[in-house]
């Protein structure tokens, strides 16, 4: 395999000192946080790491260069501020990579996220985009961290913010508007957001006291319909008009990652947004809050097969760990097998996956396409796992220990399957 591993025990360095491709070969540079420093200079080296006897739990591999590139592209294309939704993946290496790629604004939804961003990236701007906050959180955000942009969707939250901050003259108050979540794989409707009438009233009140006002919405995560943004922008424009105008329009997150390969491109969403804003005559600054789109390609999760029973693979990561989205989004993620002495390999045999805890919910039904001879001891790399993976992991059943590594190899993607191929696969899996 030819991989060389250098261990320095006792060091805990989370930031890679080098990343990239050198000498035309497959350089993979890995750093194990809280464990030691490991440098591996080939794909074989990565395999050697996975098969090292000390590894007995799942591994998250972060692709820093991919994150930087994605951030650069997003910031270049979107005609306004790009706020990264920290909840999507709050690992400091992810935040640093996005900052290096030009992201300067962060959608923070809790005081812990604000503290993390301030600690990790002192120059970055935090915006408190959760519509319901404690008084203590508002106070710390405002007085200690300089946060001025707050979201609300109810009159009592407006009163609370004004009360805690001692008035609103320097505040930027955004009203969250409830919008339909059609066309999103994960709907975000039904919890937050004011109806159009209530939003107009709130905005008018906010305009009377605040330095600036805005409307924000979220069309749902992994939205597959640019039209959902168009519809939401039309609603926002009507509310803005009734309220006497807004300074900012925040079109939220929801931009899709490339799981199946047939999702509309980010550019298509941006074109739809720009033309809807022009059509409605809205005259205000734009911002967006992507999470998934910015970071999905930026990490893989590696899980080891502990047992095989027919087409069921019992692996050491699952719904309560880093793979919850494999259940809630479905079997859309690219998977490949890492076997001792072999190059990583995709396959054509359909498997169901089961996580390590005792709970039956901990299953990720397939079809997950892997080599037919996959066996105990092999590792499965689940690609496109940068979003809502380690950020959702729990310690349930004592199985929360994940190692983080840094990868310099590129992400890989599912090729869009022709329609008849998808049907064949679904029939084969039935």
Residues forming contacts to ligand PLP in the complex (CB under 6 A) are 85, 88, 107, 129, 188, 218, 221, 252-255, 289-293
Shortest distance, position 222 Cβ to ligand PLP, whole Å: 6
Return the number of the residue (51 or 128) whose C-beta is nearest ligand PLP. 128
Contact 217, 236 (CB under 8 A): yes
Return the number of the residue (50 or 384) whose C-beta is nearest ligand PLP. 384
**What are the tokens at 51?**
């098969």
Burial of 305 by CB count in 10 Å (0-12 exposed, 13-18 middle, 19+ buried)? Answer: buried
Return the number of the residue (143 or 328) whose C-beta is nearest ligand PLP. 328
Return the number of the residue (213 or 223) whose C-beta is nearest ligand PLP. 223
Q: Which residue is nearest to ligand PLP (CB)?
A: 253
Shortest distance, position 42 Cβ to ligand PLP, whole Å: 33
Cα separation, 95 vs 84, whole angstroms: 9
Cα separation, 139 vs 212, whole angstroms: 19
Return the number of the residue (3 or 383) whose C-beta is nearest ligand PLP. 383
Shortest distance, position 118 Cβ to ligand PLP, whole Å: 19
Cα separation, 414 vs 106, whole angstroms: 30
Contact 79, 42 (CB under 8 A): no
Shortest distance, position 188 Cβ to ligand PLP, whole Å: 6
Return the number of the residue (26 or 213) whose C-beta is nearest ligand PLP. 213
In whole angstroms, how far apart are CA 35 and each of 7, 13, 38, 55, 401? 10, 9, 9, 11, 12
Shortest distance, position 187 Cβ to ligand PLP, whole Å: 11
Chain centroid to CA 318: 17
Helix count (H) and strand count (E) of the chain?
A: 13, 21
3-state helix, strand, coil in the chain (%, to 5): 35, 25, 45
Shortest distance, position 83 Cβ to ligand PLP, whole Å: 8
């Amino acid at each position: 395999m030819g991989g060389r591993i250098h261990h320095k025990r006792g060091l805990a360095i989370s930031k890679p000192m080098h990343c990239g491709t050198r000498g035309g070969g497959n350089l993979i540079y890995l750093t194990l946080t809280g464990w030691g420093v490991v440098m591996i200079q080939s794909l074989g080296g990565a395999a050697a790491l996975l098969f090292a006897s000390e590894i007995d739990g799942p591994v998250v591999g972060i692709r820093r260069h991919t994150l930087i590139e994605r951030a650069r592209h997003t910031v270049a294309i979107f005609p306004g501020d790009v706020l990264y939704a920290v909840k999507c993946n709050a690992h400091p290496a992810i935040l640093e990579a996005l900052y290096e790629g030009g992201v300067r604004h962060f959608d923070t939804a809790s005081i812990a996220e604000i503290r993390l961003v301030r600690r990790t990236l002192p120059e970055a701007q935090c915006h408190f985009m959760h519509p319901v906050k404690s008084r203590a959180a508002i106070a710390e955000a405002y007085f200690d961290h300089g946060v001025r942009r707050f979201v609300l969707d109810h009159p009592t939250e407006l009163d609370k913010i004004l009360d805690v901050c001692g008035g609103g003259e320097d505040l930027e108050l955004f009203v969250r508007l409830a919008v339909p979540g059609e066309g999103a794989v994960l709907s975000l409707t039904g919890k937050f957001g004011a109806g159009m009438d209530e939003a107009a009233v709130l905005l008018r009140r906010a305009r009377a006291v605040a330095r600036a006002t805005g409307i924000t919405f979220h069309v749902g995560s992994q939205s597959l319909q640019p039209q959902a943004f168009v519809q939401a922008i039309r609603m926002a424009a009507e509310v803005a008009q009734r309220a006497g105008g807004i300074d900012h329009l925040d079109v939220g997150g929801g931009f899709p990652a490339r799981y199946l390969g047939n999702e509309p491109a980010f550019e298509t969403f941006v074109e739809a947004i720009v033309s809807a804003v022009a059509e409605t005559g809205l005259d205000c600054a734009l911002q967006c809050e992507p999470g998934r789109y910015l970071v999905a390609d930026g990490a893989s999760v590696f899980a080891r097969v502990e047992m095989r029973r027919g087409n069921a693979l019992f692996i050491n990561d699952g719904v309560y760990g880093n793979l919850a989205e494999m259940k809630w989004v479905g079997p859309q993620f690219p998977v490949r097998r890492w076997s001792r002495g072999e190059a990583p390999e995709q396959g054509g045999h359909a498997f169901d996956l089961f996580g390590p805890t005792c709970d039956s919910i901990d299953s990720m039904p397939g079809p997950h396409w892997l080599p037919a001879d996959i066996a105990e001891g092999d590792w499965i790399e689940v690609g496109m796992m940068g979003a809502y993976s380690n950020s959702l992991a729990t310690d349930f059943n004592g199985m929360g220990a994940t190692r983080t590594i840094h990868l310099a190899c590129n992400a890989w993607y599912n090729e869009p399957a022709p329609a008849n191929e998808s049907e064949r696969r679904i029939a084969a899996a039935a």
